[in-house]
């Protein structure tokens, strides 16, 4: 059983508490977090107009990777966003469009003025998911650096995943201190960020403490460390998600998570801290997206076993969301 050191900031004092990770995930905690997620989900209403429940942008998609931005974008829609835009490289656009008529696809990421092109759309967007299937071409990464700068200037929430994390590991200053950013590293991506930011050895016996420390070093940027259990921190608290998933680890599950988080981050910030008890809204959103992704994985695995793919998981989003979060 792993043991994690977790710091809680309370009334200006910082308290150090050490406990078993599994203890943090008692049924009572879980019920509490589920209720907090329910609190941020917008209520259905006949009075709403298109776009009100979320207009999300996904920045990613290049010659090699067209699946990842599609998975992220369609997941955001299926969780409940009204409109999703994908900003991708020219060659990726017809492919992504052909997967889905519901996505709005802009083939602009490899143009010279990509950051300005995306900036034109930012006033219409509620959050950005940056990185799924972006690739590591310098021209694209440079443009994405510019997109992050203009997004920060507008105070837009940004979920950064995959090759967006590669960029952040090269230039941590891009998101340093930006508290509307959420990073969603897998095992390797977390190590890369750790090397870039902490530059020292990682305590492999204290996964929870490492997430907390990385978040603090980045200036309280929310970090979601994916793995056998997902650990997430805003530099003050660490939440654990060990919702049952399955043993199936097909590629693309992280894209479902980042796309879902894109819309839930918007909902959480809109709801505000008074709806999420003493927990930061972005942590509640992160816990919700992790729980949903793992529930989709479990449901899909029950039907498809070892042939489960991310597309099968996406088919489960509606049922999984209702089971977990609909009142
Ligand atoms: N269908 C698609 O288009 C997909 C594209 N993808 C994209 O592929 C690009 C590269 O993503 P990668 O995730 O491969 O990143 P990296 O190229 O940094 O590779 C990470 C490597 O770490 C390995 N890894 C992951 N978890 C591990 C663990 N717990 N222990 C040991 N090794 C572990 C993975 O097998 C992977 O090869 C990104 O743009 C990503 O979005 C992926 O999202 C998967 C689906
Ligand atoms: N060992 C595991 N057991 C259960 N769930 C896991 C395990 N590893 C990862 N997951 C879940 O799978 C989801 C994606 O995490 P993963 O580490 O596969 O991301 P990724 O490598 O970025 O995926 P992608 O292939 O989309 O890039 C997360 O919700 C995480 O909770
Ligand atoms: Mg990934």
The reply to whether ligand 2 has any atom less than 6 angstroms from the CB of 251 is yes
CA of 30 from ligand 1 middle (Å) equals 29
Place of tokens 């654990």: 240
CB neighbour class for 228 (10 Å; exposed up to 12, middle 13-18, buried from 19): exposed
Place of tokens 């602009």: 108
> H/E/C letters for each residue in 218-258?
CCCCEEEECCCCEEEECCCCEEEECCCCCCCCCCCHHHHHH
CA of 78 from ligand 1 middle (Å) equals 23
Residue nearest to atom 11 of ligand 2 (CA): 227
The DSSP letter of residue 43 is P
Task: Specify the length of the chain in residues.
Answer: 327
Give yes or no for a contact between 299 and 320, defined as CB atoms under 8 angstroms apart.
yes
Place of tokens 């900031």: 9
Q: What span, in angstroms and rounded, lies between the C-alpha atoms of 211 and 204? A: 11
- Beta-strand (E) ranges in 153-289? 158-160, 181-183, 222-225, 230-233, 238-241
The reply to whether ligand 2 has any atom less than 6 angstroms from the CB of 230 is yes
The reply to whether ligand 2 has any atom less than 6 angstroms from the CB of 273 is no
Ligand nearest to the CA of 60: 1
Task: State the angle between helix axes of 162-170 and 138-154 in degrees (0 to 180), rounded to the nearest 10.
Answer: 90
CA 202 vs CA 2, 3, 191, 284: distances in Å: 15, 15, 8, 26
pTM recorded for the entire structure: 0.94
Residue nearest to atom 21 of ligand 2 (CA): 186
CA of 52 from ligand 2 middle (Å) equals 30
Residue nearest to atom 1 of ligand 2 (CA): 228
Q: For residue 295, what are its two tokens?
A: 């529930």
The reply to whether ligand 2 has any atom less than 6 angstroms from the CB of 244 is no
Beta bridge pairs of residue 19: 4
Q: What span, in angstroms and rounded, lies between the C-alpha atoms of 117 and 108? A: 7
ipTM of the complex: 0.97
CA of 141 from ligand 3 middle (Å) equals 16
Between strands 83-88 and 230-233, the pairing is unpaired
Give yes or no for a contact between 158 and 128, defined as CB atoms under 8 angstroms apart.
yes
Q: What span, in angstroms and rounded, lies between the C-alpha atoms of 189 and 131? A: 12
With vertex at residue 276, the alpha carbon angle to CA 240 and CA 235, rounded to the nearest 5 degrees, is 50
pLDDT 10s digit of each residue in the chain, 327 long?
233 333 333 322 333 333 334 445 577 888 999 999 999 999 988 999 999 999 999 999 999 999 999 999 999 999 999 999 999 999 999 999 999 999 999 999 999 999 999 999 999 999 999 999 999 999 999 999 999 999 999 999 999 999 999 999 999 999 999 999 999 999 999 999 999 999 999 999 999 999 999 999 999 999 999 999 999 999 999 999 999 999 999 999 999 999 999 999 999 999 999 999 989 999 999 999 999 999 999 999 999 999 999 999 999 999 999 999 997
Give yes or no for a contact between 234 and 282, defined as CB atoms under 8 angstroms apart.
yes
Give just the sign of the alpha carbon dihedral 118, 119, 122, 127: positive
């Amino acid at each position: 059983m792993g043991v994690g050191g977790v710091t809680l900031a309370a009334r200006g004092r910082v308290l150090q508490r050490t406990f078993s990770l599994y203890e943090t995930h008692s049924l009572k905690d879980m019920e509490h977090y589920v209720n907090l997620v329910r609190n941020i989900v917008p209520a259905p209403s006949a009075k709403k107009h298109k776009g009100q429940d979320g207009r999300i942008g996904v920045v990613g998609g290049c010659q090699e990777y067209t699946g990842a931005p599609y998975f992220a974008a369609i997941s955001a829609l299926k969780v409940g966003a009204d409109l999703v835009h994908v900003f991708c490289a020219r060659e990726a656009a017809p492919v992504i469009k052909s997967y889905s008529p519901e996505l709005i696809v802009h083939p602009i990421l490899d143009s010279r003025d990509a950051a300005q092109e995306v900036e034109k759309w930012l006033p219409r967007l509620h959050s950005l998911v940056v990185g799924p299937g972006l690739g590591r071409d310098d021209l694209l990464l440079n443009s994405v650096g510019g997109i992050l700068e203009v997004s920060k200037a507008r105070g837009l929430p940004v979920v950064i995943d995959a090759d967006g994390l590669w960029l952040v590991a090269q230039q941590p200053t891009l998101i340093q201190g930006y508290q509307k950013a959420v990073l969603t590293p897998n095992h390797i991506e977390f190590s890369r960020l750790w090397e870039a930011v902490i530059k020292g050895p990682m305590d492999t016996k204290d996964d929870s403490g490492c997430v907390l420390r990385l978040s603090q070093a980045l200036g309280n940027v929310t970090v979601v460390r994916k793995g056998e259990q997902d650990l997430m921190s805003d530099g003050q608290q660490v939440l654990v998600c060990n919702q049952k998933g399955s043993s199936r680890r097909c590629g693309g599950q992280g894209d479902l998570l980042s796309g879902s988080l894109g819309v839930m981050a918007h909902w959480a910030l809109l709801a505000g801290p008074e709806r999420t008890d003493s927990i930061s809204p972005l942590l509640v959103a992160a816990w919700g997206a992790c729980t949903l992704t793992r529930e989709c994985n479990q449901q899909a695995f029950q039907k498809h076993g070892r042939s489960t793919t991310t597309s099968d998981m996406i088919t489960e989003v509606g049922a999984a969301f209702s089971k977990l979060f609909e009142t």
